[in-house]
Amino acid sequence: MSVTIDILSVEGKPATSVVLPARLFEAQVNVPLIHQVVVAQLAAARQGTHATKTRGQVSGGGAKPWRQKGTGRARQGSRRAPQWTGGGTVFGPQPRSYAQKTPKKMIAAALCSALSDRVADGRLFVLDAIVTGDAPSTRQALEALSVIGTYDTAIVVLHRDEDLAWLSLRNVANVHALAVDQLNAYDVVANQMVVFTKPALEDFVTRFGIAGLEELAPEAAEEPAKPAKAKKAKKVEAATEAPEAAEASEAEAATEAAEPTVATEATEEPAKPARAKKAKKADAEPVAEAEADEEESK
């Protein structure tokens, strides 16, 4: 199966329709996978530069606070020991990396799962262009984005060659412009709306090994349903005509079965005169015998 979505023009009217690959935009939504990938992504974004000083790194403390014995107090060797104020820290945080190893296939599957969820909710849009003309315009970009409805935050996926769109969206607070090769599951989940430009969508599809997008005109997108209805009507007519054809075939078979009887009757008709002749002969024999007896008696 595949998903068909309209490519909206700058005026907000559907210019053409495009068939989204089902492998990317109709995948099964796997919430645990999305959570694992997002957590790994946020963990990898941590700088990990936190650090504390141990007793060997704290300055001072070269002299022994007091003598070892005779004072009645506990023995101490340095004022920079952990139990002293201003001393070193024991087992404190040290600089390290929080990055997690995540397979590339899991990252891609989580992204497709998040995009499929946005498509199912009707929150993924494709625009023909963000800005038209030779100069950047934030007002024109916001007017183009107004066709997707009201939103708190939105992510706009752009091709790296769309310089005017980058300049037009750089000062919009609730719109996050992102390159197509930087699209990730976290940004899709963190924003309400996902907007692709047509060049960015084509580039995104080709990155997954798909040849290209199948474009349809708005009229052509509705026309394929009509032949299906016609086929259904033909099937219904064929189903209704099937009993009639069966009755007609049964009638023809009955007539064919009746024709031999007529033929046999026609063949039996010439036998009737022979029977009549035999009957006449049988009737004539008693008469001839009676005449012969009369002659003898005379």
Q: Which residues, 6 or more positions from 214, have their beta carbon under 8 angstroms from its beta carbon?
A: 18, 19
Q: Residue 89 corresponds to which tokens in the numbers above?
A: 């820290």
Q: Are 18 and 4 in contact (CB under 8 A)?
A: yes
What was the pLDDT predicted at 36?
97
Residue of 159, 171, 89 lying closest to 130 (CA atoms)? 159
**Measured distance between the N- and C-terminal CA atoms of the chain, rounded to whole angstroms:** 117
Report the share of the chain in percent with pLDDT over 90.
57
Any idea where the domains of the chain sit in the sequence?
3-45+97-222, 227-297
Distance CA 184, CA 110 (A): 9
The amino acid occupying position 93 is P
Q: Residue 272 corresponds to which tokens in the numbers above?
A: 């009737």
Three-state helix/strand/coil letters over 134-201: CCCCHHHHHHHHHHHCCCCCEEEEECCCCHHHHHHHCCCCCEEEEEHHHCCHHHHHHCCEEEEEHHHH
Q: Are 114 and 34 in contact (CB under 8 A)?
A: yes
What was the pLDDT predicted at 168?
94
Is the pLDDT reported for residue 286 higher than 90?
A: no
Q: Give the CATH number of domain 3-45+97-222; options: 1.10.1050.10, 3.40.1370.10, 1.10.443.10, 3.30.70.270.
A: 3.40.1370.10
Q: Which residues, 6 or more positions from 38, have their beta carbon under 8 angstroms from its beta carbon?
A: 110, 185, 186, 189
Q: How many helices (H) and strands (E) does the chain have?
A: 10, 7
Is the pLDDT reported for residue 273 higher than 80?
A: no
pLDDT band at 11 (very low <50, low <70, confident <90, very high): confident
Number of other CB atoms surrounding residue 105 within 10 Å: 8
What was the pLDDT predicted at 225?
46
Instruction: Using alpha carbons, list the distances in angstroms from residue 186 to 25, 39, 108, 266.
Output: 16, 9, 12, 94
Question: pTM of this prediction?
Answer: 0.66
Most confident of 115-119, 205-209, 210-214, 244-248: 115-119
Is the pLDDT reported for residue 285 higher than 70?
A: no
- Per residue in 78-133, pLDDT (tens digit) is 999 999 999 999 999 999 999 999 999 999 999 999 999 999 999 999 999 899 88
What was the pLDDT predicted at 9?
84
- Tell me how far the alpha carbon of residue 295 is from its chain's centroid: 118
pLDDT band at 175 (very low <50, low <70, confident <90, very high): very high
Least reliable range by pLDDT among 148-152, 254-258, 271-275 = 271-275
